[in-house]
Amino acid sequence: MANYKFYMTPGSCSTGIHILLEELDLVFEVYPINLMAGDQFKPEFLAINPRGSVPVLVTPDGTTLTTYQSISCWLAEKFPDSNLIPKEEGDDKARVMGVMNYACNKLHGEGFTRIFTTERYSIDESETEAVLAQGRNIIERGFAKVNALLAEERTFVLDQFTIADTALFYVEFWAEHGGIPLPEYCRIHFARMLKRPTVRQVLMEEGYARFLSRYDS
C-alpha cells in the first residue's frame, strides 16, 4: 500500500502535524519545503497545493489535505481509537476545536504572521516596528486567554492528548524560540509536551536538539 506523503518545513506549523503522524505510528514519506528559498512557489509544489503553504498531507488514496485543521481533524476521524478528539459532541469536543482554531487562526494567523511576514502588513519601512508591536500584542493577549482555559490544570487541553495540544504546542514553541514569555499554565503545558517521546523525536528530527537540551539541563 502507498505511504502518506508529508510536505513540511522544520520548525513551522507543520511540526504539529509531524507529531500527530508519529503519535499514530504511520508510515510516511517526508518532503521538506524550504520556505526561505521559495520552494512553496515552485510550480511542482503549487500543483499539489495552490495555496503555496505547509503542511500538506497526501493520503494513500491520493486525497490532498492542505490546512492544519483539515489534516488534524482528518487524522483524528480516520483513527478514532487514537482518541485525538472526543468522540461525543459536547463541552470537551468544543474545547478541543476551540483551542485548536484559536491557536491556528488568532495566535498564528493574526499574531505570528505579523512577526514572520511583516512586509505583508506594512506599506513602507516606517511601519515595521508598529506591525511587529501589534503582532506581539496579539500574541501576548492570545496566550493570556488560553492560559485562563489551561488554569483548570488538566494534564493537557483535556485530561488526554488531543489535536488541540499539537496546535497549541507549535505556537508555544515559536514563542519560546522567539523570546516571547509564556504565561504560567502555557509554560506548564509546553513543558509537558516536551516530555512526550514523539515530541522529542520530532524536534530532534527537525534539527532542534540544541533547543531540547535547554530543557534537559
Fold of 91-205: Glutathione S-transferase Yfyf (Class Pi); Chain A, domain 2 (1.20.1050)
Task: Return the C-alpha torsion angle 112, 16, 209, 110, nearest 10.
Answer: 0
What are 60-118's pLDDT values in tens digits?
999 999 999 999 999 999 999 999 999 999 999 999 999 999 999 999 999 999 999 99
Q: Name residue 76's amino acid.
A: A
What three-state secondary structure class fits 32?
A: strand
Q: Which three cell numbers stand for residue 81?
A: 481509537
Distance CA 44, CA 27 (A): 23
pTM of the model: 0.96
Distance CA 107, CA 111 (A): 5
Distance CA 142, CA 182 (A): 10
Tell me what the pLDDT averaged over the chain comes to.
95
Which CATH number, 3.40.50.20, 3.40.640.10, 3.40.30.10, 3.90.1200.10, labels domain 4-82?
Answer: 3.40.30.10
Strands 4-8, 28-32: pairing kind? parallel
Residue whose C-alpha cell reads 470537551 in the numeric block: 92
The answer to whether 106 touches 142, Cβ cutoff 8 Å, is: yes
Distance CA 212, CA 195 (A): 10
Omega before residue 86 within 30° of 0, cis? no
Distance CA 145, CA 165 (A): 15
Q: Give domain limits for the chain.
A: 4-82, 91-205
Q: Which three cell numbers stand for residue 123?
A: 506599506
Give the helix ranges, DSSP H, for 105-196.
113-116, 128-150, 163-177, 184-194
In which band, very low, low, confident or very high, does the pLDDT at 121 lie, cut at 50, 70 and 90? very high
| DSSP 8-state secondary structure symbol assigned to residue 112 | I
Q: Quick check: 178 pLDDT over 60?
A: yes
What's the pLDDT score for residue 217? 62
What are 13-44's pLDDT values in tens digits?
999 999 999 999 999 999 999 999 999 999 99
